[in-house]
Amino acid sequence: MPRDVILGTAGHIDHGKTTLIKALTGIDCDRLPEEKARGITIDIGFAHLELGDYHLGIVDVPGHERFIRNMLAGATGIDLALLVVAADDSVMPQTREHLAILRLLGVRHGLIAMTKVDLVDATTRSVVEMEIRDLVQGTFLADAPIVATSATTGEGLEELKRHLLHLCEQVEIRAQDQWFRMPIDRAFVVQGHGTVVTGSVPSGRVRVGEELEWHQGDGRVERVRVRSLTNHGRAVSEVQRGQRAGINLAGVPHELVRRGQELFTPGYLRPSRVLSVRVEAATLHPRGLRHRLPVHFHAGTAEVMGTLALLDADTVRAGEQALAQVFLEQPITSVWGQPFVLRDVSATYTLGGGRVLQPVAHKIRRRHVEVIEQLEKLESSSPHERMATVAWFAGLKGAELADFIRDAGVTPAEAHQGLAQLQQDGTLISLALPSRHQPLLVHAGRLKEAEERILTLVQSMHQQYPLLTSLDRQKIVAQLGYLGDVELIQTLIDRLLAAHTLVGDAHRIAHAAFKPKLSANQRKLKDRIVAAHQASPFQPPEPKEFIPLAGGNAHALKDIYEVAVAEGLLVRINDQLYLAAEAEAEMRRRILARLQQGTGITVAEVRDLLGTTRKYAVPLCEYLDRCGLTRREGDLRYLASPAEVEGKGGIPATPTILPTTPSPRAVSSREDSDCAS
């Protein structure tokens, strides 16, 4: 199978790029009537050439300064460049600009064709060759051969082919198992077939009948089906990286398709108006770059107006680099490492370019040291470190497989391997959320930050309410909404409970190290309350009866009761009725002994059994129902079955004597602590 490589031309207008390609391939890349009439290339054109084991797709670009935007669209995805300089004209402005653009786009391989050599003498050839060498010094073409050619006489064409073949052998063919994407550079209608779009394929492969996603340039993404495929006019069953592709899309109106849109594997790319980048100021524009500079942003075949925001500098001088973000007027799709070019607001000058670090970014505060340090890690040569950084930026939202492939520049195979390694070394934590089919993958550092914020809030509320033995869990969750949705926050709290950093249940929580802080007077009041309940086991005083004794602590009376409950001294029956712990255990013992006789018991019998009044007997019976010790049937109550007991919290069938020693880490819940165990 031939290997596919894409060649792009570059050079000043009227230097013979299109004529040279026609002489090499027999294909005229000027397809528009206006191009034929004016004798100049206006838009990008396409040709192909077989060279040994290589199938060379050729993109011919216009050389006029007014059509640089078309040149940039054509230069996307090229593997090697052919810089064309006319011997009778030498180096011209667009020669310099095209070379600068190729360098900014990260092209690494190329050669130089000196055309129209039949029009000059040997001395002129030598002078032009020296001027070309001066031009390319310090660029990727510094050591490239300069081939003297003439499309008229055929001179140098075979030598040019030999050099092109040698260059193709040097091109590193990127992994074919990457997901598919294709920036659209042209769209037209074929009678009887419908809309056809074309482009150079920078990654992956697609087959006839498969579905792709189509970004329409305004943030909308729609599923489309591949009806048929062509490669340089030949019908094929699939197209892949390094090829020119024509894709016939089923059911897509032609008028909705335009240059700058993109097709890709479903789920791969995400439109974004904010990108984080490494930017370099072009040497062609000596004023360099400045913060808040309006620009024309070119990436792939897209051209969008935007604003450049420098993150670690105020200005970038010619030839220097900086970290930056670009805020675009319209969303585009891109991937990690994708090259881009910046032109001025009037599209007259090339200001600079660089590489995308975050295809989908959020605004970063200038000179934010921690975030900028993380952003720099995305420039690492280690896929493992880039993937970890992608997860860090994803925060508590977590990152999915597509995020790592798109934002870390890894293949699907590398992503799977990297995820396994990151989870193994503890960098990524897997969170199982009930509403998600797949676990949420969160960076351990961001998870720790979130848990520390939860603990800080709990401790702060403990300081605010020092007498509360526990805090309302829902109120805690409500104040943590900035971390994520309720389900996520509840999961984080559950992790802290499992780690015994927090204690509590589904309703109330507390810090494990927290102990209610009672003043000396409050402790005395608590002791009097407990003693009063112990002295009157089944007709205890109501909380309001202690208000006169509480004095200045009246406002804290409820909290003092909660401390006594948490310490295991009292048991809450309801908000107005508490029993001493020993009394609650004795009540269970008596009721259980009576019910084991096999007959039901009435409220009146409970009243008499405990030596109390109906005022107390009714709430005590309801309490035993809630606990699962009894089961009500009409006016009678029976001993609950073991299954019923387990379903209501596992209350044992035999009375459990509560510990009389204080338990400062115990946490009370209005629902669960109604049933002592």
**According to the model, what pLDDT value does residue 206 have?**
96
CB-CB contact of 337 with 355 (8 Å): yes
- 212 and 280 part of one domain: no
**According to the model, what pLDDT value does residue 20 have?**
95
**According to the model, what pLDDT value does residue 34 have?**
63
Of the listed ranges 43-52, 199-208, 387-396, 414-423, the least confidently predicted one is: 43-52
What mean pLDDT do residues 515-522 have? 84
- 27 and 158 part of one domain: yes
| Per-chain mean pLDDT for the chain | 88
CB-CB contact of 265 with 213 (8 Å): yes
Structural domain ending residue among the three candidates 264, 280, 312: 264
Of the listed ranges 13-27, 32-46, 94-108, 540-554, the least confidently predicted one is: 32-46
CA dist 269 and 332 (Å) reads 9
89 tagged catalytic: no
- 107 and 8 part of one domain: yes
Share of the chain above pLDDT 70, in %: 91
**According to the model, what pLDDT value does residue 76 have?**
74
DSSP assigned state of 203: B
- 370 and 413 part of one domain: no
CA dist 468 and 518 (Å) reads 10
**According to the model, what pLDDT value does residue 615 have?**
94
**According to the model, what pLDDT value does residue 38 have?**
55
Give the pLDDT band (50/70/90) at residue 575.
confident
Q: In this predicted model, which residue has the larger pLDDT, 186 or 538?
A: 538
pLDDT at 109 over 90: yes
Q: Is residue 109 part of a domain?
A: yes
Q: Is residue 512 part of a domain?
A: no
615 tagged catalytic: no
- Within 465-514, where are the H helices? 473-479, 486-498
Rounded to whole angstroms, what are the CA distances from 271 to 123, 253, 353? 54, 21, 20
Tokens of 305: 């107006």
Structural domain ending residue among the three candidates 170, 200, 231: 170
CA dist 366 and 324 (Å) reads 9
Q: Is residue 99 part of a domain?
A: yes
**According to the model, what pLDDT value does residue 30 have?**
66
Of the listed ranges 126-140, 404-418, 437-451, 463-477, the least confidently predicted one is: 463-477
Catalytic residue among 64, 161, 166, 254: 64
Rounded to whole angstroms, what are the CA distances from 162 to 49, 337, 512? 12, 31, 76
- 337 and 461 part of one domain: no
Catalytic residue among 4, 14, 43, 60: 14
pLDDT at 59 over 50: yes
Q: Is residue 216 part of a domain?
A: yes
**According to the model, what pLDDT value does residue 367 have?**
86
502 by DSSP, 3-state: which? strand
pLDDT digits (tens, 9 = 90+) for 365-377: 998 899 999 999 9
CA dist 475 and 468 (Å) reads 14
**According to the model, what pLDDT value does residue 64 have?**
59
pLDDT digits (tens, 9 = 90+) for 375-418: 999 999 999 999 999 999 999 999 999 999 999 999 999 999 99
CA dist 436 and 421 (Å) reads 22
Tokens of 22: 């026609």
| Buried b or exposed e, range 550-565, using 16+ CB within 10 angstroms | beebeebbebbbbbbb
Q: In this predicted model, which residue has the larger pLDDT, 264 or 190?
A: 264
**According to the model, what pLDDT value does residue 645 have?**
44
Task: Count up the domains in the chain and report the number.
Answer: 5
CA dist 108 and 102 (Å) reads 9
Rounded to whole angstroms, what are the CA distances from 392 to 384, 385, 397, 550? 13, 10, 10, 53
Closest among 293, 284, 269 to 346, alpha carbons compared? 293
Q: Is residue 437 part of a domain?
A: yes
- 277 and 369 part of one domain: yes
Closest among 336, 356, 299 to 76, alpha carbons compared? 299
Closest among 230, 244, 248 to 183, alpha carbons compared? 244
pLDDT at 552 over 70: yes
Find the domain containing 384 and state its range.
380-505
What mean pLDDT do residues 93-103 have? 91
What mean pLDDT do residues 559-582 have? 89
121 tagged catalytic: no
The CATH number covering residue 462 comes to 1.10.10.10
What mean pLDDT do residues 288-307 have? 95
Closest among 369, 370, 336, 381 to 354, alpha carbons compared? 336
**According to the model, what pLDDT value does residue 675 have?**
63
Catalytic residue among 4, 9, 15, 18: 18
Element (H, E) at 456: helix 444-464
Closest among 293, 316, 315 to 305, alpha carbons compared? 293
Work out whether strand 54-60 and strand 3-10 pair parallel, antiparallel, or are unpaired: parallel
The CATH number covering residue 164 comes to 3.40.50.300
Of the listed ranges 132-136, 204-208, 428-432, 656-660, the least confidently predicted one is: 656-660
Amino acid identity, position 271: P
**According to the model, what pLDDT value does residue 40 have?**
55
Q: Is residue 220 part of a domain?
A: yes
- 161 and 52 part of one domain: yes
The CATH number covering residue 185 comes to 2.40.30.10
Classify residue 575 by burial, with Cβ atoms within 10 Å: 0-12, 13-18, 19+: exposed
Work out whether strand 109-115 and strand 80-86 pair parallel, antiparallel, or are unpaired: parallel
Closest among 109, 138, 84, 71 to 341, alpha carbons compared? 71
Element (H, E) at 181: strand 181-183
pLDDT digits (tens, 9 = 90+) for 60-73: 877 556 657 777 77
For residue 118, the Cα-to-chain-centroid distance in whole angstroms is 57
- 258 and 302 part of one domain: no
**According to the model, what pLDDT value does residue 302 have?**
92
**According to the model, what pLDDT value does residue 668 have?**
42
DSSP one-letter string for 548-605: HHHGGGGGGHHHHHHHHHHTTSEEEEETTEEEEHHHHHHHHHHHHHHHTTSS-B-HHH
Give the pLDDT band (50/70/90) at residue 434.
confident
Structural domain ending residue among the three candidates 471, 505, 539: 505
Phi, psi of 55 (to 5 degrees): -110, 110
Closest among 52, 49, 127 to 82, alpha carbons compared? 49
CA dist 8 and 458 (Å) reads 62
**According to the model, what pLDDT value does residue 667 have?**
41
Catalytic residue among 12, 15, 17, 526: 17
- 185 and 229 part of one domain: yes
CB-CB contact of 13 with 94 (8 Å): yes
CA dist 550 and 547 (Å) reads 5
pLDDT digits (tens, 9 = 90+) for 638-674: 998 654 444 444 433 333 322 223 333 334 444 444 5
Of the listed ranges 253-257, 323-327, 670-674, the least confidently predicted one is: 670-674
The number of residues in the chain equals 677
Q: Is residue 315 part of a domain?
A: yes
What mean pLDDT do residues 210-228 have? 94
Phi, psi of 75 (to 5 degrees): -80, -10
- 210 and 357 part of one domain: no
- 129 and 25 part of one domain: yes
pLDDT digits (tens, 9 = 90+) for 455-484: 999 999 998 888 888 888 999 999 999 999
18 tagged catalytic: yes
Q: Is residue 351 part of a domain?
A: yes
DSSP one-letter string for 59-82: EE---SGGGHHHHHHHHTT-SEEE
- 187 and 280 part of one domain: no
